[in-house]
Amino acid sequence: MSNPVQSGSDGTDAAGPDATAREIDSDALAQLEAAIDRVESVQHRIDDVGADEVERGAEAYRRARKLLENNDERAVGTGREAFAAYVQFEAQFDDLVDGLDDDLAERAAFEDAYEAIDKRRLYDEDFEAAKAALDPAERYVSLLDEREAATSDLHEARKAAHRRIDTLDAEIDRHDRLVELASVDLDVPVDRIRDPIETYNRAVEAAVDAHLSTASAREVFAFLERSRLYPLVDFERPPADLRDFVESNPAGESTVSQLLEYAAYSRSKLAHHVDDPDELKRQVATQRTYLQRLDAEPLTIPWPPAPAETLRFQVRERRPLVTRLAATVSDVETDPAAALQAVGDLVHDPAYDRLQTAATARTELSERERERIEAGQVAADLEALRAERTALQDALETADDVT
């Protein structure tokens, strides 16, 4: 059974007394705002130059660099092949420069680079000079690369912000629940509803133990299969292979405890007890964990109990199975069916809702949480959590506008 708020055994919150403070100090908002600023900053610089010019200039710079890098060995030196490569390279670079718009701010860089290689014979230093001449035009590519990196950072910051909002939603719900429980009278005596539930749980546990000890595995599995008609009773169904073995093999007439004991026998010893030792070993030994886990837990009533309407359904779903179980066992101190009826009668008690709420509050509230409530810290944290969530939502809307 799990509670909405878990508490540590030492009376502190399970996550530690400072967990909420650490959560509130999250830097998701700062990261998102910084990422937005970076995108806006680089976009403003691109706009100052002109987005179209930056795109055209970056494309021209990349083409020019690629020409230089592809030909800095082919077109260097003497010989027919080098000369042919040079002629082709020079023509391509000339076409590139001629194709540039006259209003391109860094056109001169491309012209200077062309001038550096406009010779009958090229050397390595000519290519280096051309590359150096292109440096002013590199800013176009740098602006686009910076924008891409900033946009990528913003994408990651947005994902982190959404994760943080999910965490905040859970924390806000938890703090709302603490505030709600803070108004509960924790001094109300809850034994009035605790005693019948504990009596029933002990009775049904004893009955299930007796059933597992005396009924055949085939009968136990039939009981478990019947439970599928009652969704609120969450027994794990037998694995198909094991169920088929128990239903068809004479060993299925043994109790679950006997089957587990048999599975531990050697094959030679087991042959004295069952017809097919290998099949029993194969089916039972591989499902030992499942058989060992069989217990009454799905039939018990959790503490603290559910609100009246839910408890009514829990009792109604358990009644047919518990009645059937009670009819199969005799050596139990308390009739589980009668004990379950006593639990069902609790929902008619006019004080049930008040007692159930108090029991829930006692279970969910740790001593540390009570201290924080009394000190007003929960209310302060709740306000801070909501403020952070609002700030994150606003920042995400801004991020949508800049991308």
Q: Residues 382, 301: one domain?
A: no
Q: Mean pLDDT across the stretch 211-240? A: 93
Q: Residues 298, 379: one domain?
A: no
Q: Mean pLDDT across the stretch 44-66? A: 92
Q: Which of 83-97, 172-186, 380-394 has the highest mean pLDDT?
A: 380-394
| In the chain, % of residues over pLDDT 90 | 56
Q: Residues 386, 346: one domain?
A: no
Q: Residues 209, 345: one domain?
A: yes
Identity of the amino acid at 70: N
Question: What's the confidence (pLDDT) of residue 229?
Answer: 93
**Which residue do the tokens 């799990």 mark?**
2
Within-domain flag for 71: yes
Handedness of CA 336, 337, 338, 339 (dihedral sign): positive
For the ranges 58-62, 77-81, 149-153, which has the lowest average pLDDT?
Answer: 77-81
Q: Residues 357, 212: one domain?
A: yes
**How is residue 212 written in tokens?**
């597992």
Range of the domain at 100: 24-179+365-403
pLDDT category, 365, cuts 50, 70, 90? Answer: confident
CA neighbor of 149 nearest in space, from 299, 252, 38: 38
Q: Residues 357, 374: one domain?
A: no
Question: What's the confidence (pLDDT) of residue 148?
Answer: 93
Question: What's the confidence (pLDDT) of residue 10?
Answer: 38
Q: Residues 143, 154: one domain?
A: yes
- Report the alpha-carbon distance of residue 124 to residue 199 in Å, rounded: 95
Question: What's the confidence (pLDDT) of residue 22?
Answer: 43
Question: What's the confidence (pLDDT) of residue 17?
Answer: 37
Q: Residues 229, 211: one domain?
A: yes
Q: Residues 204, 296: one domain?
A: yes
Note the pLDDT tens digit of each residue in 259-274.
Answer: 998 888 888 888 888 8
Under 8 Å between Cβ of 399 and 154: yes
Note the pLDDT tens digit of each residue in 283-342.
Answer: 888 889 999 999 999 999 999 999 999 999 999 999 999 999 999 887 788 999 999 999
Total tally of structural domains belonging to the chain? 2
Within-domain flag for 7: no
For the ranges 3-17, 142-156, 331-345, which has the lowest average pLDDT?
Answer: 3-17
Note the pLDDT tens digit of each residue in 109-144.
Answer: 999 998 888 877 777 888 889 999 999 999 999 999
pLDDT category, 74, cuts 50, 70, 90? Answer: low
For the chain, the first-to-last Cα distance in angstroms comes to 46
Q: Residue 4 above 80 pLDDT?
A: no
Question: What's the confidence (pLDDT) of residue 73?
Answer: 64
**How is residue 310 written in tokens?**
């839910």
Q: Whole-number mean pLDDT of the chain?
A: 86
Within-domain flag for 185: no
Give the DSSP letter string of 282-296.
IIIITTHHHHHH--S
Backbone dihedral region of 255: left (phi > 0), alpha (psi from -120 to 50 degrees) or beta?
A: beta
Q: Residues 164, 238: one domain?
A: no
Q: How far is CA 399 from CA 6, 27, 34, 155, 163, in A?
A: 36, 16, 11, 9, 16
Q: Residues 224, 343: one domain?
A: yes
Q: Residues 340, 221: one domain?
A: yes
Q: Residue 23 above 80 pLDDT?
A: no
Within-domain flag for 8: no
Within-domain flag for 6: no
Question: What's the confidence (pLDDT) of residue 77?
Answer: 57
Q: Residue 72 above 90 pLDDT?
A: no
Number of C-beta neighbours around residue 364 at 10 A? 19
